[in-house]
Chain A
């Protein structure tokens, strides 16, 4: 029988992992809301940011988190340009399908470039505080997991405030809800959508840096992330950020709990099981609105 302490520890670790999943899935949800685009390159950008953090820390010897000063604006800019010059050129009628292929192509190109520049060798950041963990009610929690959860929670909080409290957030939500109506009240929807894309990609930069703290990275790692993230946004309901966050926390926790009896590889399948169950029982997702099933 599994001991209570182990269960408790797994629960905590699961919630911490779920927090990271929530941040990573938030970006995907944002793109979907803005343009009905499924951004398959999101995970590739996450890995790219993790590589930038690793490279920065191995060249300068500073903390990898400092790389965010450069990578967040860079990714914001890439996101804006990506929307402006690639995605908005697609024909509206075939937008959804073609955007999947387009972003798939970008993901492949990023994976290939990472392999060319830094080879396929597995990389890991050596942090002075890497192996330390603190005990919390008898559970041993690695410091790096707490840092990445904190980073994820902070970014999600900032994202929430931007969406709810700023003029830009209001314009972005209006654009998501009804683009034409937003145009009628004077919102430059193309610009706002581009900035929204930039915002989504900025979350990938933060998520990647958080990931680099606790994971060994290699160029094809993004395949291990895109599947779970896609499952999360479908289970949560395409386009719903709170739905994605709840699904991420729930599935992340279940995954870590299942690792006790099943081992990490089989535990990973929970995302796909959840995906198929969702499609059977509730194709629009558990928190999704009317949009979800059509796209």
Chain B
């Protein structure tokens, strides 16, 4: 895996001693990389387990969500700037890819890259305006971007096809549908690996440290000399670039684009929900959230059909997550393991032993001073407490 070695060399600074290298191993720097390999390997078994092409296509959708949510987390999780408008860049990436394939006649995957680069540049322009404000205003702006693009893409019929949609030529025209799903499942899986590694690299870099400082306290970060405006823009650009790639590959897979789905604020919020539900501070948080929410959405669609029930469910789940698990299920799981596991009890025993040792020492000192047999008394008093 080229990404793997790349990161490992980047992590170990040149000329570091063996001790430092060992310490960097000990502090879990390679752990997440191993984790990524294991997770990708486990997910790669899905096409073998999937009973029918429908399950396979559901897997593709969930993976698409996972890529999208992890890319979102590069901005939302690291800087704390919650964007409800990332679908705008997803949609731009998919339309850009579709239009490039149709009009330029280039290779489909080159078109994805081209579209993603253009969208990345657009996102820098948008981010420059949007990141001038914080918190709630930022969220408003990101929602506004989606709503305005929806208007534009629905009205600009001559280019986008309007509400009747845009048909994107398939990259593998003579492939049967199940085979098509299988190929795209592995493409999305590769994309997921790319996005996870990108997140890890940014997270462990000085950029990531600065972004997290911005998340915790932007004013303090600024006063420490962090160029906050520039770094926020960088994170936004990277996040939007990766999102646009996901959008472009989605366009190639699905083959039919409609503004109402490509610029759907509800889906955009579901992406944010996935990241939050899984836990924005965890590498695999958005992936876990995507699997939970994505499967739930498919389940609702299968069992309740095209009703509004999935909206109610999404809404209530969002409310519940915000109120009861704002750090995500992975944080809840970690807390549970900490409570059940041996580490928590060992800490309590350690401290109790420390107290007893101290008391024994004191009692021994007092006993030595009085020369009597009162050594039992203090420890009894301690157990009463």
| Residues of A in contact with B (beta carbons under 8 Å apart) | 32, 36-38, 40, 86, 89-91, 94, 96-102, 104-116, 120, 219, 223, 226-227, 230-231, 234, 238, 265-266, 268-269, 271-272, 275-276, 279-280, 283, 292-295
Contact between B314 and A105 (Cβ–Cβ < 8 Å)? yes
Contact between A295 and B307 (Cβ–Cβ < 8 Å)? no
Contact with A along B302-318 (1 / 0, CB 8 A): 00000111111111111
Known: A105-B319, A265-B155. 20 other contacts (CB 8 A): A36-B136, A97-B136, A102-B323, A105-B315, A107-B315, A112-B313, A112-B315, A226-B143, A234-B133, A265-B154, A269-B152, A272-B144, A276-B129, A276-B144, A279-B130, A279-B133, A279-B137, A293-B134, A293-B137, A295-B136
Pull 6 A–B residue pairs with CB atoms less than 8 Å apart, ordered by A: A91-B326, A97-B139, A111-B308, A219-B308, A279-B129, A279-B130
Contact between B147 and A115 (Cβ–Cβ < 8 Å)? no
Contact between A269 and B319 (Cβ–Cβ < 8 Å)? no
B132 at the interface (CB under 8 A from A): yes
Chain A residues with Cβ below 8 Å from B135 are 36, 96-97, 294-295
Contact between A112 and B147 (Cβ–Cβ < 8 Å)? no
Contact between B151 and A112 (Cβ–Cβ < 8 Å)? no
Chain A residues with Cβ below 8 Å from B151 are 265-266, 268-269
Chain A residues with Cβ below 8 Å from B84 are 100, 104
Contact between B139 and A102 (Cβ–Cβ < 8 Å)? no
Name B144's contact: one of A111, A231, A294 (CB within 8 Å).
A231
Chain A residues with Cβ below 8 Å from B147 are 223, 227, 272
Which of A38, A110, A120, A279: most chain B CB closer than 10 A? A279
Contact with A along B163-193 (1 / 0, CB 8 A): 0000000000000000000000000000000
Q: How far is the CB of B258 from chain A (nearest CB, A)?
A: 15
Q: How far is the CB of B85 from chain A (nearest CB, A)?
A: 11
**Alpha-carbon distance between A226 and B148 when the two chains are bound, in angstroms:** 12
Contact between A116 and B130 (Cβ–Cβ < 8 Å)? no
Name B316's contact: one of A105, A238, A272, A292 (CB within 8 Å).
A105
B140 at the interface (CB under 8 A from A): yes
> Contacting chain A: which of B61-69, B265-273, B290-298?
B265-273
**Alpha-carbon distance between A101 and B143 when the two chains are bound, in angstroms:** 12
Name B272's contact: one of A101, A269, A275, A292 (CB within 8 Å).
A101
**Which 6 A-B pairs rank lowest in CB-CB distance, beginning with the nearest?**
A115-B308, A112-B311, A105-B318, A109-B315, A108-B315, A112-B312
Chain A contact surface mostly: helix
Name A101's contact: one of B132, B141, B313, B322 (CB within 8 Å).
B322
Closest B residue, CB atoms, query A104 = B269
Q: How far is the CB of B215 from chain A (nearest CB, A)?
A: 10
Closest B residue, CB atoms, query A267 = B151
Contact between A230 and B129 (Cβ–Cβ < 8 Å)? no
B289 at the interface (CB under 8 A from A): no
B74 at the interface (CB under 8 A from A): no
Which of A99, A105, A227, A238: most chain B CB closer than 10 A? A105
**Alpha-carbon distance between A3 and B308 when the two chains are bound, in angstroms:** 46
Chain B residues with Cβ below 8 Å from A86 are 319, 323
Contact between B144 and A275 (Cβ–Cβ < 8 Å)? yes
Contact between A90 and B307 (Cβ–Cβ < 8 Å)? no
Name A230's contact: one of B143, B152, B307, B314 (CB within 8 Å).
B143
Chain A residues with Cβ below 8 Å from B309 are 112, 116
Which of B313, B316, B322, B326: most chain A CB closer than 10 A? B322
Chain A residues with Cβ below 8 Å from B326 are 91, 94, 98
Name B80's contact: one of A97, A114, A219, A223 (CB within 8 Å).
A97
Contact between B148 and A293 (Cβ–Cβ < 8 Å)? no
Contact between B155 and A266 (Cβ–Cβ < 8 Å)? yes
Contact with A along B241-283 (1 / 0, CB 8 A): 0000000000000000000000001100100110010000000
B238 at the interface (CB under 8 A from A): no
B240 at the interface (CB under 8 A from A): no
Q: Give the residues from 105 to 147 in chain B that come closer than 8 angstroms, CB to CB, to chain A.
A: 129-130, 132-137, 139-141, 143-145, 147
Chain B residues with Cβ below 8 Å from A99 are 136
Chain A residues with Cβ below 8 Å from B269 are 101, 104, 108
B82 at the interface (CB under 8 A from A): yes
Contact between A227 and B143 (Cβ–Cβ < 8 Å)? yes
**Alpha-carbon distance between A6 and B275 when the two chains are bound, in angstroms:** 51
Chain A residues with Cβ below 8 Å from B139 are 38, 97, 100
Closest A residue, CB atoms, query B217 = A93
**Alpha-carbon distance between A115 and B306 when the two chains are bound, in angstroms:** 11
Chain A residues with Cβ below 8 Å from B322 are 90, 98, 101-102, 105
Chain B residues with Cβ below 8 Å from A276 are 129, 141, 144
Q: Give the residues from 55 to 82 in chain B that come closer than 8 angstroms, CB to CB, to chain A.
A: 80, 82
Chain A residues with Cβ below 8 Å from B276 are 101
Q: How far is the CB of A95 from chain B (nearest CB, A)?
A: 9
Contact between A283 and B133 (Cβ–Cβ < 8 Å)? yes
Closest A residue, CB atoms, query B146 = A227
Contact between B319 and A295 (Cβ–Cβ < 8 Å)? no
Contact between B307 and A116 (Cβ–Cβ < 8 Å)? yes
Contact between A38 and B310 (Cβ–Cβ < 8 Å)? no
Contact between A234 and B311 (Cβ–Cβ < 8 Å)? no
**Alpha-carbon distance between A269 and B312 when the two chains are bound, in angstroms:** 29
**Alpha-carbon distance between A226 and B84 when the two chains are bound, in angstroms:** 13
Q: How far is the CB of B131 from chain A (nearest CB, A)?
A: 9
Closest B residue, CB atoms, query A41 = B315
Chain A residues with Cβ below 8 Å from B315 are 104-112
**Alpha-carbon distance between A37 and B140 when the two chains are bound, in angstroms:** 12
Contact between B136 and A100 (Cβ–Cβ < 8 Å)? yes
**Alpha-carbon distance between A109 and B317 when the two chains are bound, in angstroms:** 10
**Alpha-carbon distance between A112 and B315 when the two chains are bound, in angstroms:** 8
Q: Given that A100-B139, A265-B154 are known contacts, is A108 also in contact with B314, CB under 8 Å in the complex?
A: yes
Q: Give the residues from 173 to 228 in chain B that come closer than 8 angstroms, CB to CB, to chain A.
A: none
Chain B residues with Cβ below 8 Å from A279 are 129-130, 132-133, 137, 141
**Alpha-carbon distance between A280 and B140 when the two chains are bound, in angstroms:** 15
